Amino acid sequence: MIAEKMKGLVANNSAIRTMFEEGKLLAAQFGEENVFDFSLGNPSVPAPPEVNQAIIDVVNQEDPTFIHGYMSNAGYDDVRQAVAESLNRRFGTHFSSRNIIMTAGAGMAINILLCALLNPGDEVIAFAPYFMEYNTYVGNYYGKVVAVKPDTSTFMPDLDAFAAAITPKTRAVMVNSPNNPSGVVYPESTLRDIARILTEKSAMCAQPIVLIADEPYRELVYGGVEVPYVTHFYPHTAVCYSYSKSLSLPGERVGYLVVPDEFHDFANVITAATIANRVSGCVNAPSLMQRVIKRCLDLKCDVAAYERNRDLLYEGLRGLGFECIKPEGAFYLFIKSPDPDDLGFIAACKKRRILIVNGTAFACPGYARIAYCVPYERIQRALPAFQEVAQEYGLGQR
Amino acid sequence: MIAEKMKGLVANNSAIRTMFEEGKLLAAQFGEENVFDFSLGNPSVPAPPEVNQAIIDVVNQEDPTFIHGYMSNAGYDDVRQAVAESLNRRFGTHFSSRNIIMTAGAGMAINILLCALLNPGDEVIAFAPYFMEYNTYVGNYYGKVVAVKPDTSTFMPDLDAFAAAITPKTRAVMVNSPNNPSGVVYPESTLRDIARILTEKSAMCAQPIVLIADEPYRELVYGGVEVPYVTHFYPHTAVCYSYSKSLSLPGERVGYLVVPDEFHDFANVITAATIANRVSGCVNAPSLMQRVIKRCLDLKCDVAAYERNRDLLYEGLRGLGFECIKPEGAFYLFIKSPDPDDLGFIAACKKRRILIVNGTAFACPGYARIAYCVPYERIQRALPAFQEVAQEYGLGQR
């Protein structure tokens, strides 16, 4: 009965979500404190208390037909202007409301942009390891993701492989920094290299290749690392942002799309993306949350809590002999599988009630993702279980 | 730069939204009280005060990582169960949480269902006049809307034309009762006729034709009219609901999709629709609003206000010699254009600063839609302007 293109998705379902459901079953059986669930990127840190106060204030102070009503499909003008000015203050950009579309999270921002741009058969390049939902997002418009393998010593893009992957069908390139699942942050030099390659290669395409910066983890960085603002390096850059992680509001579905003035064919692209917001059926980003965001633009969740988690987990796993690079941002650690078959490693972990996601689910076999957006105590209690796994694989302690 | 399929949409944009923008400009020029904007279906009645209280209570009483966090893509289990039980109480159905997917409004409910069901080239039948967004929704999945003309004496579906329009490519049929834009409510007999035809004609299709009930206006009916629950008449019926109108929350994007157990291939369809919610980029219906809905299931906005508007407008226009049928539900009146060219009529109205939408925008030329979800005083002040239009066309007063 179902559509052909849904059959594979129904058969496989999402590896991450499946793990989430298994976690709930194990928790019911063994008690929640005895299941070490690191499978899902659901923030463990609550929203800043000012967010809930802002919700109450908006409800008490503003007209209900306004705060719950329709607005332009791009969002409330004043909210978009406030978002633009916040970006300008922080990143030296020159946006105004016309460059911003409020969206139901970064996922919807990516979708309305792809809807605006892609024709069937177009190719979108993604740097492995990458969030596999990109495949379905691009597939929604009958496009195709072309994966570029990483340099696994740094998890930075392999730039020669990138240049070689560009064809006349390449319509866009996705970058995701801080990265899910590796935790790396692209330095300015990497972004300049990507921009240079895109400028050179766009010459063989009918129009400039678009750079899509998927940035839900922008504010989650540790040790003073800077995340360069991508529009500074390449004009045809669109930024997809979400408050899911920075304000711990993933269920609320609020974020935005930025399209700068200098983006090729700006007026048509921003109009098409706005229409895409409408015709998707979503219509607009949730209205009350837009009004709340205007009051919370300069807030952040407790990023230090994630940094403490990272330090405990990274040092702990390295001490047990596991291999991984130190994440500089996001809340994931991408560990090398000590088993040539990463599903074997996942199974060995599950035997100790450790739930993590295999690297193949991020187009990067031989690795696994550990989401450390969890209570600190869960990491503490999980380390002895990880030790058992290390012993099973004969890893040397340091 | 933009996708081929967006070019027409960008060129035309939505007639309704364009009118909305024009209204804002006229209001700036002549003052809001001198512009009679009847163009948009944006509720004029505020949300019941209990909704805002529920928002405050949820924020004060529930854990922030829960109320703002991810949940299953189908929505919170307890919210879905509460929605199911509310339907069962009111309509004698037998739903449980497994039959309900919480969505970002009815528009998203329709989209995830179509995503789950449609293959490129499939046909979806809609009864004119209909909400033209159906064309873009179906087009999102490379399907095609086949319009069936109405019996304009009643604005009920022409059932012979309907039967004749069904082909082996027909995958679904949309019904929208109470109807936007005509305000008619389909009686049980009409639904039984549609079900009978679908059952007969499904025999020539590879699988049962699906009936999609788009019901954002279910609670907005006048004079005690009943809106039969469509799943009682045909097993392969999915219901797309929104709280946009019943609770005056259109900007919040919250509603649901119902797929009954007896729907053909139920398990795959509900799974595919749940996955579609995720891969659309929307992921889930906004979380806080789901929790609020659970506390507000039995509330309604002030429907009597819309009924007073309907009575004043309908009696006023009839008195001026305009032709229209009396709406029994929703908040629209579908008026016959006194001008053979309905755009001429729209222009004559706009000259008196009356903003309404032409019938062609609902696949029904020769008519126009007046949205009476406006302050009562706007209708009072607009009637003299309508009188000038009536005089221009030489309509006889009664």
Kindly report, residue by residue over B229-245, the tens digit of the pLDDT: 999 999 999 999 999 99
Q: What is the pLDDT of residues A166-191, one digit of tens each?
A: 999 999 999 999 999 999 999 999 99
The whole-number pLDDT of residue B23 equals 77
Does residue A398 belong to any structural domain of this protein? Answer: no
Q: What pLDDT does A15 receive?
A: 56
Exposed/middle/buried for residue B233 (C-beta within 10 Å: 0-12, 13-18, 19+): buried
Asked whether residue A36 falls in the same domain as residue A90, the answer is: no
Residue A362 DSSP class: G
- Assembly ipTM: 0.95
The H or E element spanning position A22 is: helix A15-30
Same domain, B238 and B310: no
- Same domain, yes or no: A132 and A184: yes
Q: Which CATH number is A167's domain given?
A: 3.40.640.10
Each residue of A197-211: pLDDT tens digit?
Answer: 999 999 888 899 999
Asked if A9's CB is within 8 angstroms of B279's CB, the reply is: yes
Which pLDDT belongs to residue B359?
93
What confidence tens digit (pLDDT) does each residue in A13-59 have? 755 566 667 777 888 889 988 999 998 889 999 999 999 999 999 99
Instruction: Check residue A398 and give its pLDDT.
Output: 55
Determine, yes or no, domain membership for B157.
Answer: yes
Q: Are residues A122 and A152 in the same domain?
A: yes
- Note down the domain range covering A371: 4-45+302-392
In this predicted structure, the answer to whether residue B295 has a pLDDT above a threshold of 80 is yes
Shortest CA gap B34–chain A (Å) = 20
**B324 and B204, same domain (yes or no):** no
Report, as an integer, the average pLDDT of B206-224.
96
What mean pLDDT comes out for the span A2-6? Answer: 93
Q: What is the pLDDT of residue B397?
A: 62
Domain boundary at B239, B260, B295, which? B295
Across the strands, what pairs with A237?
A211
- Boundary-marking domain end, from A262, A295, A328: A295
The 3-state DSSP composition of chain A as helix, strand, coil percent (nearest 5) reads 45, 15, 40
Q: Is residue B376 in a domain?
A: yes
- Say what the pLDDT of residue B273 is: 97
Q: Is the pLDDT of residue B18 over 80?
A: no
Distance from CA of B342 to the nearest CA of A (A): 25
Mean residue pLDDT across chain B: 95
Using CB atoms, pick whichever of A65, A137, A264 lies closest to residue B1: A264
Whether residue A29 sits in one domain with residue A117: no
**Residue A368 has what pLDDT?**
97
Write down the pLDDT at residue A17.
62
pLDDT at B26 over 60: yes
> Looking at A229, A264, A295, which one is the last position of a domain?
A295
Chain A neighbors of B249, CB-CB under 8 A:
68
Quick one: average pLDDT of A68-97? Answer: 97
pLDDT of residue B19: 65
* B286 to A252: CB separation less than 8 angstroms, yes or no: yes
Nearest to A46 among B65, B108, B248 (CB): B65
Residues on chain B touching A1 (C-beta within 8 angstroms): 117, 207, 264-265, 268-269
Q: Residue B398: inside a domain, yes or no?
A: no
* Shared domain check, B113 and B42: no
Assign B12 a pLDDT band (cuts: 50, 70, 90). confident
- Are A99 and A84 in contact, with CB atoms under 8 Å apart? yes
With beta carbons under 8 A apart, name residues in chain A contacting B69. Answer: 42-43, 248, 250-251
For B323, phi and psi rounded to 5 degrees?
Answer: -105, 130
Between helices A266-279 and B4-12, what is the axis angle to 10°?
90
Cross-chain residue pair A117–B64, CB shorter than 8 Å: no
Within 8 A of B272 by CB-CB distance, chain A residues are 2-3, 6, 9-10
pLDDT digits over B351-366, tens only? 999 999 999 989 999 9
Q: Is residue B397 part of a domain?
A: no
Counting Cβ atoms within 10 Å, is residue A281 exposed (0-12), middle (13-18) or buried (19+)?
buried
- Residues A215-271: tens digit of each pLDDT: 999 999 999 999 999 999 999 999 999 999 999 999 999 999 999 999 999 999 999
Condensed to tens digits (0 to 9), the pLDDT of residues A144-154 reads 999 999 999 99
The sign of the torsion formed by the CA atoms of B3, B5, B9, B12 equals positive
For residue A351, what is the domain's CATH number?
A: 3.90.1150.10
Do B273 and B342 belong together in one domain? no
- Taking an 8 Å cut-off on Cβ atoms, the answer to whether A107 and B63 are in contact is no
Look at B55 and A55 and tell me if their CB atoms are within 8 Å.
Answer: yes
Task: Tally the domains of chain B.
Answer: 2
Is B282 close to A9, i.e. CB distance below 8 A? no
Same domain, B323 and B386: yes
> Residue B40 domain-assigned?
yes
Please report whether residue A153 resides in a domain: yes
Question: What's the gap between Cα A27 and its chain centre?
Answer: 27
- Note the pLDDT of residue A257: 98
Half-sphere exposure of A386 (CA within 13 A, CB side): 28
What pLDDT, on the 0 to 100 scale, is given for residue A396? 79
Question: What pLDDT score was predicted for residue B16?
Answer: 55
Give first-to-last CA distance, chain A, whole Å.
56
Read off the pLDDT band of A10 (50, 70, 90).
confident
Read off the pTM.
Answer: 0.96
Residue among A10, A45, A252 whose CB faces B272 most closely: A10
pLDDT at B205: 84
Distance separating alpha carbons of residues A126 and B280, to the nearest angstrom: 19
**Domain shared by A259 and A388, yes or no:** no
Question: Which residues does chain B have within 8 Å of residue A142's beta carbon, measured at their own beta carbons?
Answer: 142
DSSP run (H or E) holding A5: helix A4-12
Residues B350 and B269 in one domain: no
Q: How many CB atoms lie within 10 A of CB A371?
A: 24
Q: Which of A243, A116, A255 is nearest to A172 (CA)?
A: A116
Residues A201 and A326 in one domain: no
Task: Report pLDDT digits (tens) over A256-272.
Answer: 999 999 999 999 999 99
Residue of chain A nearest B72, judged by CA positions: A17
pLDDT given at position B398: 55
Q: Is residue B357 part of a domain?
A: yes
Contact, B282 vs A107, CB < 8 A? yes
Kindly indicate the confidence band of residue B10, based on its pLDDT and cuts at 50, 70 and 90: confident
Share of chain B above pLDDT 90, in %: 89
Encoded tokens for A215:
């940035």
